[in-house]
Structure 1
Amino acid sequence: MATRSENRDIRWAAGDIRLYFMDNIRWLMIVFVVLMHLNVTYSTHGLWYYTEPSYTPLVSGLLFAIYGFFTQAYFMGLLFFIAGYFVPGSLDKKGTSQFIKNRLLRLGVPTLSYMLLIHPITLFIVGAFQHNNPSWLSWYIHYISSLEFLSSSGPLWFALALLVFSLVYALLRHISFFPPMPAYLKQAKSIKNSWVICVMAIMAIVAFLIRLVQPAGVPLFNTLTGNFMQIGFFSSYIILFAVGIIFKRCNLLNKLSYTFGKRWLILTLILGFPAWFGLIIGGNIVKNGAAFAGGFYWQAVASAIWESFFCVGVSLGIVAIFQHKYNTQGAVSKFLADNAFGVYVFHAPIVVAITMALREFSLNPLVKMYAVAILVLPVCFAFSYFLRKIAWIKRFFS
């Protein structure tokens, strides 16, 4: 996720074009992150601090699944693409040592703060509502001394992964590992369909190989509450982070036309939805769920191909459409952009507190999810806004 280390408003220039659209995509994806965690809360499918089991009608369950599968396929990869796009310019401007120091401060401090403070607070809120809090001090001492906190990054797994990606890139650049970008990329007048298909193919192959070792949906190292880092989904994150770097170094944004991106988005949606239904029905996901997560199964192969196709197609379409249609920033979008990273960092305890406080209200789970979202999102953005009034917090959480 591009942070204020690149620019306080993430308004980098590409020639005479201000990249407000990157800001707009970023805050929209973070809204989707909050909605995803509400989706998990009320569907009970996925990893989160608190889930609310209840009877879910078939249609609601299907809509939960559609939001979960389709959003998971692209939204975090798109954030890694945006982050990757800003890395080369920041590294060129700051130099290796200053860039690394900056990354450690801008990504490491929020991640460590989450591990040491926000995650324990979130667990305390859950325990308080469930009347099940042991001695907080003794628990916290064990939490630190056992190094359990290192695997409790919660949603900040993104910042931790981005920190690792950025440091690896900086070190590889420092030792001149990266060759110059191919001339055909720099000199091309437009992005080719063959390039898009190639990225999809690489992403699918990498996803399948990773899931042979670490199935999708399984947290890395342990299953402790708050460990949401799932390496099985990292293919799109790694590939799109690299694609973002290539886009910057080869000036490919200027070669991405609105028509090209829109066509890919439409094609992806037209083919993606029926393909997904065919996959889950034909593969019998209810009985063979593990086969979709990874292994030498045709469902794992098909799932990796579908996710890669949907991820690249939707991401390409969103970037193209936002670049050409939403490259502006008014007062509202600026407010959302300024506070988006704060929402990402601090939303977990807010979401947990509100959903648990409303747990006795009986509604259709899908209706309840979006009704609660209407309350949760303004509270999250307001909390970020007022907290960032404190200068030292704004420095690290902006």
Structure 2
Amino acid sequence: MAATSATPSERLHFVQWLRVFLTSLVIAHHAGQPYGPTGGEWPVSDPANTGILGAFFGINAAFFMGFFFLISGYFTEASFDRKGPAAFLKARLVRLGIPLLVFTGILFPITVYAFSQPPKSFSAFLIQDYFGRLDLEFGPLWFVAHLLLYAVLYAAWRLVAPAPRPDHGPPPLGLGVILGYALALALVSVFVRTIYPQDAWVRLFWLIPAEPAHLPQYASLFVIGIVAARVRWFTELPGRTASAVFLIGLAALFLAGLFDYGVLPLPGFLDMNLIWGFFEAFVCVGMILGLLALFRRFLDRPGPWLTRLEGNVYGAYLIHVFIVVALQISIVDLALTALAKFAIVSAAAIVISFALTAALRRIPPVRAVI
């Protein structure tokens, strides 16, 4: 496939469509939490449950947040060069810091108190537990906190590093380089998961939630996104290479499934946490490059729907968890199957999240942030 030429500062319509798709996938992922086997905590439980959603959760977690970090990294350097260090950090503090303060400092503590109902007043809960122990709830805004941290680290690095040359960088990615990265990520992931299995969370700097099992993926893809922008990897990556890596990712997913379902016996010194940690890296890279090539091929064009949706992606990500939880609570007592509830909550939450964000963004101060 012949790739179009574009710079990171230009409008890459297929990337905007990817952001819409990935945000919708995040909403659907959280919509399914009460209805399938998830390793994380969720405030709503439902008697309707199915193991089928386990594969959906596993594949999503393998790549979708890493893809977000890759896209964020891809546009970071152009933003820094265009604005300069001070304006770059100010813009990041406004766009990332203000939502963190509002959600983590106001909305989430109210929600946590309402669901946990501790035997103390709300003020005592805030002072003694929430802020006193730095036991802050970030929800899906852990991603926003990581982006803010990465922005600060990037700005600090640019202050001491020589200015990058836009016309000088790594050559277009070849299959060997891509698979070499996937293998390195797989080995690092296995090592990390010997200490921190998937869904185990820690606090970076005693504050920011992080899942060590996926942290190597997130950090490395953010850095790769920065490097990729210098030589336009999003637009110059050959479609055949992307397709080959996607097929390898599918093969890795198939092999992991054989171990998970007992078709292949697990080696005595390994468990499924480590097996999946290895194969997940190839699934991650395969899904990212496969979707990148697919959207570039078929959705690299503007249109009325993209115009309506693209500006509301960030806001939909921020507010969707409240909408999802409200919908899940509202249908707990309905005699529906788990898959039916999952479909209803997913579809309704996606529509409401984007529509409500569009309405909120009519308010000038809100629009300035989201």
TM-score of the two chains, using structure 1 as the length reference: 0.82
Equivalent-residue separation in structure 2 for 1:15 and 1:55 (angstroms)? 45
Q: Is the counterpart of residue 200 in structure 1 residue 182 in structure 2?
A: yes
Indicate if the aligned counterparts of 1:100 and 1:170 stay in contact, CA closer than 8 A. Answer: yes
Deviation at 1:283, TM superposition (A): 9.3
Q: Is the counterpart of residue 339 in structure 1 residue 312 in structure 2?
A: yes
Equivalent-residue separation in structure 2 for 1:282 and 1:382 (angstroms)? 44
Query: What is residue 151 of structure 2 aligned with on the other side?
Result: 166
Instruction: Show structure 1 runs of 5+ residues with no match.
Output: 1-11
Query: What is residue 252 of structure 1 aligned with on the other side?
Result: 233
Query: CA distance change for structure 1 residues 234 and 383 in 2, over 3 Å: closer, same or farther?
Result: same
Q: Secondary structure at the match of 2:357?
A: helix
Equivalent-residue separation in structure 2 for 1:38 and 1:162 (angstroms)? 24
- Note the alpha carbon deviations across 1:244-280, whole angstroms, 9 max, x for none: 11111223234212332233223422x1332121121
Query: What is residue 295 of structure 2 aligned with on the other side?
Result: 322
Aligned amino acid, residue 68 of structure 2: L
Query: What is residue 82 of structure 1 aligned with on the other side?
Result: 71
Q: Secondary structure at the match of 1:231?
A: coil
User: Percent identity, aligned pairs only?
Assistant: 25
Deviation at 1:354, TM superposition (A): 1.5
Deviation at 1:298, TM superposition (A): 5.7
Q: Is the counterpart of residue 146 in structure 1 residue 132 in structure 2?
A: yes
Equivalent-residue separation in structure 1 for 2:284 and 2:358 (angstroms)? 31
- Note the alpha carbon deviations across 1:209-241, whole angstroms, 9 max, x for none: 33233322112149xxxx963222112111111
Aligned amino acid, residue 177 of structure 2: W
Query: What is residue 23 of structure 2 aligned with on the other side?
Result: 30
Task: Map 1:151-300 to 2 at 5 A.
Answer: 151-176=136-161, 185-186=169-170, 188=171, 190-221=172-203, 229-269=210-250, 271-282=251-262, 297=270, 299-300=272-273
- Note the alpha carbon deviations across 1:161-215, whole angstroms, 9 max, x for none: 11111211221121117887996x54x4x42101111210221122223323332
Equivalent-residue separation in structure 1 for 2:159 and 2:90 (angstroms)? 14
Q: Secondary structure at the match of 1:85?
A: helix
Deviation at 1:77, TM superposition (A): 0.4
Equivalent-residue separation in structure 2 for 1:181 and 1:195 (angstroms)? 21
Which of 91, 101, 109 is equivalent to 1:112? 101
Equivalent-residue separation in structure 2 for 1:40 and 1:322 (angstroms)? 27
TM-score of the two chains, using structure 2 as the length reference: 0.88
Equivalent-residue separation in structure 1 for 2:264 and 2:330 (angstroms)? 37
Q: Is the counterpart of residue 379 in structure 1 residue 352 in structure 2?
A: yes
Indicate if the aligned counterparts of 1:114 and 1:153 stay in contact, CA closer than 8 A. Answer: yes
Query: What is residue 65 of structure 1 aligned with on the other side?
Result: 54
Equivalent-residue separation in structure 2 for 1:277 and 1:145 (angstroms)? 43
Indicate if the aligned counterparts of 1:21 and 1:328 stay in contact, CA closer than 8 A. Answer: yes
Deviation at 1:351, TM superposition (A): 1.1
Equivalent-residue separation in structure 1 for 2:11 and 2:134 (angstroms)? 43
- Note the alpha carbon deviations across 1:32-51, whole angstroms, 9 max, x for none: 11111122222152324323
Backbone CA RMSD of aligned residues:
3.1
Query: What is residue 322 of structure 2 aligned with on the other side?
Result: 349
Aligned amino acid, residue 148 of structure 1: L
Q: Secondary structure at the match of 1:54?
A: coil
Indicate if the aligned counterparts of 2:14 and 2:296 stay in contact, CA closer than 8 A. Answer: yes
Query: CA distance change for structure 1 residues 391 and 48 in 2, over 3 Å: closer, same or farther?
Result: farther
Q: Secondary structure at the match of 2:210?
A: coil
- Note the alpha carbon deviations across 1:319-378, whole angstroms, 9 max, x for none: 122123211222222222111111111111111111112111122112211122222221
Deviation at 1:305, TM superposition (A): 2.0
Q: Is the counterpart of residue 99 in structure 1 residue 84 in structure 2?
A: no
Aligned amino acid, residue 276 of structure 1: A
Instruction: Show structure 2 runs of 5+ residues with no match.
Output: none
Aligned amino acid, residue 168 of structure 1: L
Indicate if the aligned counterparts of 1:111 and 1:156 stay in contact, CA closer than 8 A. Answer: yes
Q: Secondary structure at the match of 2:261?
A: helix
* Number of residues of Structure 1 aligned to a counterpart in Structure 2: 363
Indicate if the aligned counterparts of 1:107 and 1:163 stay in contact, CA closer than 8 A. Answer: yes
Query: CA distance change for structure 1 residues 119 and 192 in 2, over 3 Å: closer, same or farther?
Result: same
Deviation at 1:123, TM superposition (A): 2.9
Query: CA distance change for structure 1 residues 332 and 254 in 2, over 3 Å: closer, same or farther?
Result: closer
Indicate if the aligned counterparts of 2:197 and 2:213 stay in contact, CA closer than 8 A. Answer: yes
